[in-house]
Amino acid sequence: MKYAHIIWDFNGTIIDDVSLGVDVFNKLRTDCGLEPIDKTEYVENFKIPVRDFYEDMGFDFSKVDFRKIGERFVELYSSKRFECPLTYGVADAVRTFSKIGVGQSVLSAYENGLLHQAISHYGLSDYFGRIDGLDNIDAGSKIELGKRHIAAIGESPEMVVMVGDTPHDKQVADAMGVACALVACGHTSRRRLEKVGVPVFENPAEFKEAFLSGDF
């Protein structure tokens, strides 16, 4: 195998929470007097840091406090988060990689405590040697967290691949000096992901097959 360790993103990569994300985002838009958007527009525009995404989509943070928007998002999202399914094939992929001795960890822009709760809820905690989320609810850049993460897992960067669902995951992978693969089942359209310049898979099941066959 080409890689000895996989760093997984969480939202949109392990958990299929895109529909919930769109629903909550639209509730926030309505609260601020903005028109709802559909899933297609969402995945064509979503980005991290999410503050930039919100501003691009018409939120005026000179009139509404971004922190209050974030708190409201967490409140609405948390009430439904465990209704979200896992992404297609991810549970089997994680178990298979664990069985064959590939190290695994999670690096997410999700708040760290909420991230640990979610991974435990889905019964996946034991498969990850390290789980790192941000220390706030702002869903900002995870580049600096990524640098600490790669240092902590103790694996040579050339033996590591990050799997995510946004162009930001490629930026984080570059900052860590690791390879990157993207899945098109998350918060970014396949059209946008294919412009990033790394392999794009439909879902974790497809990534697993490519990884095991040596095609990635």
Question: pLDDT tens digits, the chain, 216 residues: what are they?
Answer: 789 999 999 999 999 999 999 999 999 999 999 999 999 999 999 998 899 999 999 999 999 899 999 999 999 999 999 999 999 999 999 999 999 999 999 999 999 999 999 999 999 999 999 999 998 776 778 999 999 999 999 999 999 999 999 999 999 999 999 999 999 999 999 999 999 999 999 999 999 999 999 888
* 3-class DSSP string for 93-149: HHHHHHHCCCEEEEEEEEEHHHHHHHHHHCCCHHHCCEEEEECCCCCCCCHHHHHHH
The length of the chain is 216
Rounded to an integer, what distance in angstroms lies between the CA atom of residue 65 and that of residue 12? Answer: 26
Provide the pLDDT for residue 122. 97
Provide the pLDDT for residue 116. 97
Q: What is the phi/psi pair of residue 189, to 5°?
A: -65, 150
Provide the pLDDT for residue 137. 72
Question: Model-level pTM?
Answer: 0.95
CB-based contacts of 189, cutoff 8 Å, min separation 6: 40, 43, 44
For 180-192, write each residue's pLDDT tens digit: 999 999 999 999 9
| Tokens linked to 10 | 């969480």
